[in-house]
Structure 1
């Protein structure tokens, strides 16, 4: 949402102080989660640590302590820490085993895409019946135009959302409202996915899921780490740091010119997000990590490469949490209800398909976040289930980038017809 220059400013505007607060929150959560107190253990059985690392930073935004729109912490975390985390989490990946997970991952991803595509029109149709005054006519502020941009975000990512904003000409006011709906509703669902990751075996039992393929990949990764585990020396940590951030530098060096070249030479590049530097950044970092997994660099897993990668993921989770201002729901409650109905359709379809094909909760959560969260959230969600599974989230998110604009464009056409019929 646009910043109001005359509006109230955040209590803390220094990013160094905000980073210190986030670090303190992460440390407090992990320290308290390790306490032996019975009440604390029961609390964390309901609210897993990873969920609190995501939720507590959102309170800083909700109560005006921090303004995420003036902070660059999320940008830095997503452009520097996320690529490094992807490299360190995939450097120990067993790629053949990941590929051997089977078709259920793609089935769940496709189900998530369909859920977004039909959920939007269903939510809009119900709105036309219950509150036709919200439809906004046929001009730029029409509700369906703003919803089309959310479809781009929830199938692909921010680049796809921008493309839909230009294709359907949404007005600035409606676009601002729907950006808020996008962020809040998607982040609430992300919190649920993180809870599922922390309770995956319990959820798998409810879904009657066959999680054997995922368990094999996870067990194999843990066995490799155990067999090569050692107390890391300073040189090991320096090597981990060097591999991670040298790869980040290389990924940026490749991503920036590559996105510019595609954007300048191919008209279709914009529709496929090939002109997005972030798209190429994530893809290149993952490719580097996978390539290194076939070299001696894989031995860094024994010194804790995946643990360092997981630490970077937790920092990213905390900065993502800053973007969730729960208080924003009070500004435009009707639009958030529409967004919640839309998300509910997506979730019900995902759960139904998971139950039908006995897909494990990992495929449910990551297949959904590869749509809803894109490349910034899918690998984080996958790593929450297990660090060795992060590459699956990246690969599915890349598919989302590719199909996002076309699928959202079609969804926009359907919603335009519903709005026209309501008018």
Structure 2
């Protein structure tokens, strides 16, 4: 049994690295439905259930310090690729579709919570707020909301279950609908002539990272850690309430700083994606290390609730499509840019045309910007309903 902090962190990183390598080198179909980062959660949770480590004082201290300080640094790095000037080039209708998808997801969470509230555990609104952040942005936003709302790590198992199982079904459905794009456009009255032109312009105008790799990595790592310390200190000076805690302020401030930094030369340095991904894997491992399979007894209810959320979201997107004359590509990628993020939105875009891949990427980046704030808004509404 592991009792030292160093061995504990080393084991988490070893599991993360092994799973990521296995995903990259093997051809196992399971990784198409359960990416390495989701597998990491369940593998570490299984190890926690069987007592691979003891929650000693040094391990608990390392867990708290790493999670508290790495998360703001990760958010800052994650947002460096979210340049609002590039996102603006998507065009009004595509951006409108993205926000329509985000709003419909938020409304769907609220309606589903009202329907399922009696079957959910006390405080489940926090878990669903974290999931809504993920489905408006990505896993990083989910982790940010978990930190901001102090969601118990044990409850995050439900979030990952919904985020993997229901999300996989949604991706398959959207890919299956690709052949019906022309029929859908005829039904909505959409004009698809501008999509290829927008995609080609974004491809030729894409941002390239530059600089010596070691220098860039060292600078970005230092900058992100300094931002983490600085924002936490600044948050200590701001007024708080039951909802806006010091942690909530930290997450919001670092989000603003990341968006602003994305419009500076810092964003062109190599390594922001790589470093933020490393931090994300460590954070997911830390969260899972406090979870237990015995606490997932209500999993079927949460999975069913996730399906209801997606159904409500899909129905609302049909209404928006008819109202604003969206084509199927715009609706599908806007939805997946929210729910799946940068890992899957470009895949759906490529199913229509490779020229449209940059649109999928930029829409997913926009999700990183709004995911944390959107999830916190949903969480506030859910908390009022639960009161």
- Normalising by structure 2, we get a TM-score of 0.59
Report the CA distance between 1:257 and its aligned residue.
Answer: 3.9
1:275 positional shift: 9.5
Report deviation, 1:390: 2.6
Q: Per-residue deviation at 1:368?
A: 1.4
Does the alignment pair 1:259 with 2:224?
A: yes
Deviation (angstroms), 1:377: 3.0
1:361-376 correspondence runs (5 A): 361-376=328-343
1:159 alignment partner in structure 2: 140
| Equivalent residue, structure 1, for 2:193 | 212
1:146 aligns with 2:135: no
2:261/2:267 contact within 8 Å kept:
no
Determine which of 114, 120, 132 is the counterpart of 1:135: 120
Per-residue CA distance 1:248-274 (angstroms, 9 max, x = gap): 888756653443343233355622664
Residue in structure 1 matched with residue 176 of structure 2 by the alignment: 195
Separation in structure 1 between the aligned mates of residue 254 and residue 98 of structure 2, nearest angstrom: 18
- 1:390 aligns to what? 357
* Of 94, 97, 109, the match for 1:108: 97
The residue that corresponds to 2:7 in the other structure is: none
Q: 1:417: which partner in 2?
A: 384
Cα distance change, pair 109–174 in 1 and its aligned pair in 2 (3 A): same
Compute the displacement of 1:217 (Å): 4.3
Q: Distance in 2 between matches of 1:416 and 1:184?
A: 25
In structure 2, how many angstroms separate the alpha carbons of the residues matched to 1:210 and 1:408? 32
CA displacement 1:284-310 (0-9 Å, x = unmatched): 999689xxxxxxxxxxxxxxxxxxxxx
- Once the two structures are TM-superposed, the CA of residue 366 in structure 1 deviates from its matched residue by 1.8
**What residue is the counterpart of 2:289 in the other structure?**
none
What SS does structure 2 have at the residue aligned with 1:210? coil
Work out the CA distance in 2 between the residues paired with 1:165 and 1:119: 20
CA contact (8 A) 1:145 1:170 kept: yes
CA positional deviation for 1:415? 1.1
Whether 1:336 and 2:303 are equivalent positions in the alignment is yes
Cα 1:126–1:358 shift into 2, 3 Å: same
Would you say how many aligned residue pairs link Structure 1 and Structure 2? 287
Aligned to 1:270: 251
Structure 1 residue 356: Cα displacement: 1.5
Determine the structure 2 residue equivalent to 1:355: 322
Contact 1:115–1:349 (Cα < 8 Å) also in 2: yes
Distance in 2 between residues matched to 1:388 and 1:285, nearest whole Å = 27
Cα distance change of structure 1 residues 187 and 257 upon mapping to structure 2, 3 Å threshold: farther
Query: 1:145, 1:412 within 8 Å by CA — same for their partners in 2?
Result: yes
Q: Separation in 2 of the partners of 1:407 and 1:367?
A: 15
**From 371, 375, 383, the counterpart of 1:404:** 371
Residue 330 of structure 1 and its aligned partner are, at CA, apart by 10
Give, in angstroms, the shift of residue 349 of structure 1.
1.6
Cα separation, 2, equivalents of 1:174 and 1:261: 30
The equivalent of 1:90 in structure 2 is: none
Match of 2:108 among 119, 139, 143: 119
CA offsets 1:301-325 (integer angstroms, 9 cap, x no match): xxxxxxxxxxxxxxxxxxxxxxxxx
Distance 1:330 1:175, change over 3 A: closer
> Quick check: 1:155–1:372 contact (8 Å CA) kept in 2?
yes
Shift of residue 57, structure 1, vs aligned partner: 3.6
Distance 1:220 1:68, change over 3 A: same
TM-fit CA distance, 1:146: 0.9
Residues of 2 paired with 1:336 and 1:208: CA distance? 35
Work out whether residues 157 and 401 of structure 1, in 8 Å CA contact, stay in contact via their aligned partners in 2: yes
Unaligned runs of 5+ in 2: 1-17, 45-77, 236-248, 271-295
Query: Which whole-Å deviations, capped at 9, do the CAs of 1:134-179 have from their partners, x for residues lacking one?
Result: 2323xxxx22121111011111222221122123222233221122
The 5-angstrom pairing of residues 237-252 of structure 1 reads none
Instruction: Label 1:106 to 1:18 Cα distance change in 2 as closer, same or farther (>3 A).
Output: closer
Query: Structure 1 residues 60, 359: CA separation in 2 closer, same or farther (over 3 Å shift)?
Result: closer
What's the CA shift for 1:380? 3.5
Q: Which residue of 1 aligns with 2:9?
A: none
Report what 2:8 is aligned to: none
